[in-house]
Amino acid sequence: MKSRRVFWFGMSAWVSLAFCAPALAAAASAPAATYSPGGWPTLHRDAGNRRSVDTMVLSREYTHWQAAGGATVLTAPVTSPDGKQLYFTTGLAKGNSNLHAYAIDGTALWHAEPWTSARDGVDPCALLSSPIVDTRGDIYLSDCNQLFAFRPGGEVKWVVELPPLQPGDWVAAGDHPVNAFTTAAFTAAGDLLGVTNFGDVLIIDRATGKTLNRAYRLPGVLAPYASAEPMPDSVLGNGLMDPNFREWAWQLIFGGSMRSANTPAVAANGRIYVVGSGADKGVGALYALDVLPTASGLLVQEAFVTAIGLGSGSSPALSPHEDQVYVSDEEGWFYAIDANTGVNNWKVKTQAAAGAAAVGTDGTIYALQARAPAVVAINPKGEILWQSDFSGMLSQRLPSSLLFGDPVAAGNGNPTVTADAVLVPVVYGYKVPLLGFTAPVQSVVAALDLKTGAAVRDVVSLPGDSSGITAVLASGAILSSVGDALTSAVSPLKPLLDVLLPGDLVMMGSTGGVQVAVPVAACHAACHGLAEQAVSGKHALGTCLAKSAGGQLREAPPTAAKTAWQTPRCAASCRQSRTMRCGRPR
């Protein structure tokens, strides 16, 4: 294998606030001890896949920066232990990098070596394998056939091969081997855990990359090819991802052709929960796995297997006390399964998509729905509390259409629970008759009332549709993937719909990338700090700030930096957002 190198950058990403972003404090409620304390260390934030943060968002105003435009991003960016760096993956074609590191202020730090073959570089399967970060800041992720460990500066720590395909496994991408992890996890003992597309369970030493367990594959039958939602010719096209891997990504998203298409959950007692295909074709199951030491290595054994309904199901989410495991199937049945015995405590019919639910600290469960109100809330007893209501918000955002009727809000990513709201990516647009899709006109991360489900605020706008997960840090910063699965899928109809939509409205195009929204108050403090550092020559802005004078801006820092800070040219980076005037909310 060739030696791997890291490509460093000194330039910034395209930003609306290029230099203002604070160092972030540790998460308000830390995940398991092995995970980075920097705020969002893994796809669903914690070992139990709960996506819950004790952070307020409703009272904040935001500015933002964007990066990696032109590349779809489908998993949440994750953070370093100090919260100053974030990492995300893409699925770009040969000759491109697919692991990216940025500073929280939008500065590009490094990209992994561009991939050139199945053995060299991080290939496009990284698109659906979120990096995970440990307490030392080391980063772990899978591509199609390898598992990588990187140091915080981008140096390769180790690379190991994932298990090969076995007879009968689906060949997803020609001669390029594909048996990827769908996001790894850490065990309660601090080792690395992953389940491949075809059900191979691996426990790996984080320090060396050595496999610690005896071979084990989930016993379920291979899921049938997912055809209920045919893959549009344009989805994730036009360079958003490598076209040779689009079919693999589509099958994984819809749980077809594989045994496992979900992220495992790990309880504090060490038990591992995996959802995959069951004993009967087309039916899913929840596997509870225990790990036992033996003389010949760790033994993975089934504690119980509980059948669920159609499809491969969602990633499992654990209740706050880890006594129940929540999972949904392709028909919208939502299950609560006893974490110790595997008994199905209850199930309730919803329109929930097979995507991991979020679980609040009070035990309330929030699930994304398809072709229905965007979010449903369920209490721990299985009673539906509410379904989201955007009627008040929609009337303020978009007019009615003679052709398409009233505007609609369609859920476009899994919900995240904060201290004062449920955040969910949605697209506002119009339902297209006969074709049945929502023509996306605007994309936002919306806030729902925790008690009623009523939409109370559009917290941030997005340049494209999220198609992914919203991460929220302790500082209130909001990290969004811009996957553009919807906008790219319907893009061939854009010229026609642009004519038919009411007024001057047009359908959104595809941008891809990530967006990081930073609270204005935090940015204000950071800009003041930069100005003070500049006068003492400690920051690169020093040349500009120290040599300039004049200008009249309010709330200049009460230091020797005041004159320099007031320079309009140098402070412009702190005034570009519509919600900011040098750090002052409107």
554-568 pLDDT, tens per residue?
A: 333 333 333 333 334
Residue 181: what pLDDT? Answer: 96
Question: How far is the C-alpha of 510 from the C-alpha of 31, rounded, in Å?
Answer: 34
Q: Poorest-confidence range of 154-158, 316-320, 433-437, 485-489?
A: 433-437
Q: What is the DSSP letter of 153?
A: T
Tell me how crowded residue 510 is: count the other CB atoms within 10 A of its CB. Answer: 28
CA distance 565 to 557: 7
CA pseudo-torsion sign 567, 573, 577, 579: negative
pLDDT on residue 527: 53
Distance CA(286)–CA(297), nearest Å, equals 25
Give the CB-side neighbour count of residue 440, counting CA atoms within 13 A: 27
**β-strand pairing of 413-414 with 468-472:** parallel
Cα gap 40→88, rounded to integer Å: 12
| Per-residue pLDDT band at 522 (split at 50, 70, 90) | low
Rounded to two decimals, the pTM is: 0.86
Question: Is the distance from CB of 486 to CB of 471 less than 8 angstroms?
Answer: no
Predicted pLDDT of residue 523: 54
CA atoms within 13 A on the CB side of 130: 28
Contact 355, 361 (CB under 8 A): no
Decide if pLDDT at 427 tops 60.
yes
Q: Does the pLDDT at position 29 exceed 60?
A: no
Helix (H) or strand (E) holding 79: strand 78-79
Lowest mean pLDDT among 170-184, 195-209, 543-557: 543-557
292-321 burial by CB neighbour count: b if 16+ within 10 A, else e?
eeeeeebebeeebbbbbbbbbbbbbbbbbe
Tell me how far apart the alpha carbons of residues 176 and 123 are, in angstroms, rounded to a whole number.
10
For the chain, domains (ranges, CATH) are 7-524 (2.130.10.10), 525-585 (no CATH)
